[in-house]
Each structure stands twice: as structure tokens, then as C-alpha cells.
A and B are shown apart, each in its own frame.
Chain A
Amino acid sequence: MTPTPTPRRWWPAAALLLSTVVCFALGGVLDHGTLDLGVTLLCYLAIAQAWNILAGFGGLVSLGSAAFVATGGYAAALLLVHTGLSWPLAVAAAPVVAMLLALLLSAALLRLRGDYFSVGTLAIAIALQALIRNWDWAGGASGVTLPVDAVPSGGNLFQLAVIVAALAMALTLHARHSAFGIRLAAIRDNEPAAAGLGVAVRRHQLAALLPSSAITGLAGAVIAFQFVVISPDGVASVSWSLNAVLMTVVGGTGTVLGPLLGVAVVYYGLTRELQSEQTLSLVIEGVLLIAIVRFAPQGVWPLLCRTARRLLGPRPGTGRPVTGRGDEDETVPSGTETLAMDVA
């Protein structure tokens, strides 16, 4: 059973706000290399969290993140190149276009269940890549080169990435601690039961899909600015989908902090630090994924927290050991149970 939304508290939001302010301020003082690494990590974090909202909280295991990265990236790039729009407006347009695509596809996608949904989203990502590859106005297979002087870079790009990642974290916190999140988890755990308790299934899934795609599209725009040249093999690569899944699964699906840890482990720990040992990096990635699926299917973050609680011993005043999972607690009932109790 995956973790379930818990009641809203003020301190996670405060911690997020504080982290955002601190990181935003760092945009003016860090060196170029660190800023660039930060942009990459924050974009991955936003994409992983967007996937987490959909799959971890909503049970919709998507392999279509790449489609929304591409949509956001190309929307921002094409607006810059073909209309001469300023970059803030191009960035603002990216999530709108991504949401429109999600809305368009939702009619078909949200009728699919389980593996069929995953395959459907993967098909969309691949089809979109093929479409872009053959779309001359979008540069075809060679892609589009953005005007270097017209896009933000360095500290400005980092601050933009901080905002995008903070939005993704805020949305995840909302899904974690709101009534909406409880209903979404109820659908994930037992859709017929949730529907029986009065949850509008399609409406809630759409309400998860739209902001998730918007955040992914927004991250796509930041990636386009960082890459300068965007091509179907780059921003439309299916590897964005796979990385989103890998990072979230490694960190912990359905948790707020799991994807953060997953991004740090997978990108910073394996990809970046082992970039001169690519084969070793790939092998470790594979072994890690297998080990996690086998021994810690909830991810590393819940495992770490569970271990920490065991080490800390019994919870004061209760006399029993604490064995919760991550920032979630096994004593919390599933989404459907929570919803049933609320209804009762």
C-alpha cells in the first residue's frame, strides 16, 4: 500500500518557502558551473514531482512525461524564434500549451486503466517525437536554435528553475495534505469504492493530469533555454519519461521528499559524478533499480525514515516502536479508508 495523504500542516509549506527563498537568493552568488548543475537538478525535480503527483498519488503511471517536456520546450522556443515574444511570455505560454495538450488527450487517456494507460502515454510521447521530427516549421530533425541573447542564463535561469521546482513541490504538498489528495489516493487504491463513496473519478484524475502536465511543460521551457538548441532527440527524447520514473521510484513514490532524494541519487550521484565512467553508471543504475524494486518497493526515502525510527527506538509516551514509512505512517489508513471515515 502506498502512502496516503495526511492532514495539512503549516511547517512543510514554511520549509518549502524558506528553501525557495534561500535558493532564489543563491542565484546571485553561485558560480556558473554550480548554477548550471542546479538548473538541471531542479528541472529533473520538477518533472519527477509532476510524475509523482500523477502516478504516486493518483495511480496513473504515465510514461508520457517526455511529451509534455517537448511541448513546453518547443512552445517556448517556437514563440521566441517565430514571434519574437520575450522569454517571460514564452515561459508563461509553455504550461498553457502543455495543459491544452493534456486536456485534448485526456478524453482518450483517462478511459484507459493500469498498463493500458502507461502504454497509451508512451505511445503519445513517441508519436509526438515523430511528429516534431517531421515538422519543418519546428526545425524537423535538426531542431531549433534559440537566440542566445534572448534567453535567460546563469543566475536568472537558475532562479526560474527554482520557481518551477518550488511550484512542483508545492503541488505535491497540496496533494499530500489536502482533501483533494485524499480523494485522489482513494481513486488510486480502489476506484470503484471511491466512486461508490461519491468521488468524481474523471474530474479528479483530470485535476491531477492538468497541473502535472503544466509543471512538466514549464520545466521543458527551462530546459529549452538551457539547451539553446532543441531537437527531437533532445527535449522530445523518451529518456525524460524514464528518468522521471527512475528518480521517483528510487526516491519514493507517493512521498513529498522521495523524488528530491531520487534526483540527487540518480542524476547527481550516478549520472554526474560517474560521467567519466558511463558504463559503470549504467550498471549501478540498473542494479539499484532492481534492488529497490525487490527490497524497498516504496523507495529509498521511506526506507531511510523507517530505519531512522527503528534506531530512535520507541516513540515517547507510547511504549511501542515506530515503524512508519518515510514522512508517511502505516497507521494512517488508505485513501479509501480515510475517505470512508470522513464520509461516516
Chain B
Amino acid sequence: MRTVRPSLRLACAAACAALLAAGCAGNDTTSASSTGSTGPIVIGTSISLSGTTVLTSIKDGYQLAVDKVNAAGGVKVDGVKRKIKLVVLDNRSDTNTMVQQVRSLVLSDHAVALLGSCCQQNIDMEGQADALKTPLMMGALPVELLPAGKGYAWDSFQSLADGADKFYELAATASTNKKILMVSSNDAQGKATEQLWGGLGKKAGFTVASSKAVPNGTTDFSDVVQSGKSTGAQILIADMAPQDCFAMWKQMKALAYRPKLAIGLQCAQTPGWSALGSLGDGTLVQLNWTESAGLPDTQMIVAKYAKKYPALNDLGSVALGYHEAELLVDAISRSGDATPAAINKALATTDMTSALGPVKFTANKSTTPSFIGQWESGKIQQVWPAKGAVPLKSLSGLG
């Protein structure tokens, strides 16, 4: 049998210290809160800047709004001008990382409010905002999809219904048999899109010839394509993650399925769509912003970011981020004391015109306008509404 060695005792002592350190240590607990002082007001965001989704353009929009306020001396709170400090963390498109970062932003960095990420991550983030009682201003989530929570999440973005109406108005001008193949992911956004777009399509005189729900990460779309071919659907509505859309577009080409109109919701808005090359030409995309719509601060956004983001959808994302941050900064300035509760209360009474148009919240939601664009040679041009639009082209990529 062995005897107890001094080094083991040392190890045990070190382990006890490590257990305490690991279990109980934290960030700097002496850092000043951003509330109740004259120091900078901290707002934070955990956003996908790497991994499957890259939202650098939205982050740039956040920073643009914050820089603009700080350049003017800060935001006036209770008669005192205070700078805004934006803490941006990259969650690598990972939900677990996002949750841990959001909690760290609020509990350790003392962020008084949060800015959103995108899509499903915004839904996951809402629970944290409610649990931490910290306002979360988000876009990039259709307003119909904001779950009913405790009232700390605010969504100002497009509405699925408005987008569908605009699409069907455009589709009615094209020569098709009005038969639709609808392919959507089986998550909340996909299901809501299927229901809303399908229902509104019927009202507009279209027929959903085939509807398919696919899990995220699907790589084989042969049965979906086959169903489009067999039903003779000439309109394709796809609401899926970008990589799923990429795979499906390639398989449509390979299997010679040639719809006359195709819109890629979620997926065709991403910068990666241009990587499809000519295959993506003619694909329609829902936009939240265009240069020709006459929205506020358009010239500033274009002047500052047109070189970095030549594509319209990316500039639209900058505008979206700018819009979200503008709304939050406005609420902070009206909050009186810049506490999370006061900011949340102030958001409810928002009544302003931001970079995406007029904003007024009802049940924590405010709808921004929708536009339909079309990909052509790696660029997007507005094709609907007719004002400021170019004529609709054929779906040449799949032709």
C-alpha cells in the first residue's frame, strides 16, 4: 500500500483552491455599473460574426449609430450628456455561446440594454432578456415571430404578411400558371412563413401545389424538386437557411426544374448568395431597405458603407443595425435615468422615424416596409414596389 506523500497533500490543497477559484471566481466585481452615474452607458450585443452566419454589416450599423451619438457628445440623460459604450461579442453562430455572452454582458459588464443578432438567435435571446429584465432591441426577425414574453424584447422589422403581399403583387404581373412550390425549414420562421405566405397566396389567387418542410441542414432536395416538377409549379417560395438554399438551387439546376419565379427568403438576403454566380441570377429577395425609397439617413449610410458593401442587401443590413441602435439610443435619452426598467418603459412610447421609416410599437412590435429585389450578376436591384424599381427579369440562373 502507498503512503500519503507531501506532494499529494500539496495537490489536494491546490485542488481545493482551484475548486473555489473555478466555482466562485468571476469577472471584476468592482467595475462600475453603467447606471446611476455620469460614466458611459453600456449597451451590448452578442452577434454572429463568424460561423454559419456572418452579420458584420448589422454590427457596422450598430457602431455607426453609436459613433454618431458619441460624436455629438453623447446621449442626454437626466440633463447630463453621457457617451454610449457598445460592447460587441462574436458568438460564432453558436447558441450556447450566445446565451453565455448575453448573461455576461448584463451581469458582468452591466449592459443596460441589448441589441439583437438574427433569426432564431433572437428568439433564444428573448428569453434571456426577460430573465435578466433587460431590454433587447432586435430586428432581423419578422414581427410575427416574436414570441409573447415578459415584455423586454422589442422587434422592429418587416412583417411576413407585408412581404408576402408585395411578392404576390409582383408575381401577378408575371406570366405564370400561379402554382406554387413552397419549401420551408421546419423551425418557427419556416412554419409561420408556410402558413402566412400560403394563406395570402390563396387570397391573391395563387395555388400552393406542393408544400414541403425540411429540417435545417438538409442536403438532398431531390424529392422536393421532383414534387415541384410533378405538380408543374412555376413559382418557388423557399424559406430556408442559406446553405440549404444553395444546395437546393444547385439540385434544381441539375434536375432541370425551371420555375419562372423563385424567391429565397432568409437565404437570398445573405452576401453568400452572390457566390452562386450565374446560378443565382433572377432569384428574388425580400429587402428591408433600398437606396431609392427616400428613407432617412440613406445618403450617410451609402456614403460611409457603399464601398465596403456594394450589394444592396448588405447596405440594407447596415441600415437595419443603424435603425435598431437608433431606437435604443432614443429610448435611453427619454428614459430619465438609463436604467433597464426605464429604458424598457421608454421603448414602449417610441414614436420616431428611423432609417427604416416610422416606428411606433404595438405589443412590442413595429413593422418596417418591405421591398422585393432581384439578383443579377452579383448585385440586387429593386423590382417592387414599382416606384424606384427596374423591370422584372426572367429567372435566368435556373433556365
Q: Which residues of A contact B (CB under 8 A)?
A: 6-7, 9, 11-12, 15-16, 18-19, 22-23, 26, 30-38, 40-42, 45, 130, 133-134, 140-143, 145-146, 148, 153, 162, 165, 169, 226-229, 231, 233-235, 237, 239-240, 256-257, 260-261, 263-264, 268, 271-272, 275-276, 278-279, 282, 305, 308-309, 312, 315-316, 322, 324, 326-327, 329, 331-332
Contacts and interface: CB of A to CB of B under 8 A. Distances in A.
A13 to B, nearest CB: 11
A40 B11 contact: no
A154 to B, nearest CB: 9
Nearest to B110: A33
Contacts of A331: 2
A19 B124 contact: no
Contacts of B7: 305, 308-309, 312, 322, 324
A261 to B, nearest CB: 6
Closest 4 CB pairs of A and B: A34-B26, A229-B127, A141-B187, A33-B108
A336 to B, nearest CB: 18
23 contacts: A7-B1, A11-B4, A11-B9, A18-B16, A34-B29, A36-B108, A37-B26, A141-B185, A142-B187, A148-B131, A226-B99, A227-B127, A233-B95, A239-B94, A257-B18, A260-B22, A275-B104, A276-B88, A278-B89, A278-B92, A279-B50, A326-B11, A329-B2
B256 interface: no
A273 B19 CA distance: 18
A131 to B, nearest CB: 11
Interface in B92-144: 92, 94-97, 99-101, 103-104, 107-108, 120, 123-124, 126-128, 130-131
A262 to B, nearest CB: 10
B95 A19 contact: no
Given A41-B23, A148-B131, A257-B15, A231 B120 contact: yes
B386 to A, nearest CB: 36
B10 interface: yes
Contacts of B88: 276
Given A41-B22, A275-B89, A305 B104 contact: no
Contacts of B49: 278
A279 to B, nearest CB: 7
Contacts of B8: 327
A190 to B, nearest CB: 22
A159 to B, nearest CB: 11
Contact of B103 (A9, A36, A276): A36
A237 B95 contact: yes
Contacts of A233: 95, 120, 124
A237 B95 CA distance: 9
A239 B131 CA distance: 24
A237 B107 contact: no
Contacts of A316: 6
A41 B100 CA distance: 11
B128 A229 contact: yes
A130 B92 contact: no
A11 B22 CA distance: 20
Contacts of A165: 23
Contacts of A228: 127-128, 130-131
B104 A33 contact: yes
B147 A145 contact: yes
Nearest to A227: B99
A320 to B, nearest CB: 13
Nearest to A9: B4
Contact of A257 (B5, B11, B216): B11
Q: Classify chain B's interface size.
A: 35 or more
Contacts of B186: 133-134, 140-141
A142 B23 contact: no
Nearest to A306: B7
Nearest to B46: A275
Contacts of A329: 2, 5
A142 B141 CA distance: 13
A322 B25 contact: no
Contacts of B5: 315, 322, 324, 329
Contacts of A140: 186-188, 191
Contacts of B14: 257
A153 B27 CA distance: 19
B12 A12 contact: yes
B127 A142 contact: no
Given A33-B104, A140-B187, A143-B124, A162 B23 contact: yes
Nearest to B107: A33
A148 B132 CA distance: 9
B107 A36 contact: yes
A169 B20 CA distance: 13
Contacts of A30: 24, 26
Interface centre among B49, B87, B123 (most CB of A within 10 A): B123
Interface in B24-68: 24-27, 29, 49-50
Contacts of B155: none
B21 interface: yes
Given A141-B186, A141-B187, A327 B23 contact: no
A202 B103 CA distance: 43
A335 B271 CA distance: 57
B22 A268 contact: yes
B20 A19 contact: yes
A37 B27 contact: yes
B150 interface: yes
Contact of B15 (A15, A146, A271): A15
Contact of A33 (B26, B97, B101, B215): B26
A282 B21 CA distance: 23
A172 to B, nearest CB: 12
Nearest to A148: B131
B100 A40 contact: yes
B90 interface: yes
B188 A142 contact: yes
B94 A133 contact: no
Interface in B294-336: none
B149 interface: yes
A19 B2 contact: no
Contacts of A239: 94, 96
B99 A133 contact: no
A241 B383 CA distance: 47
Contacts of B90: 276, 278
Contacts of B107: 31-33, 35-36
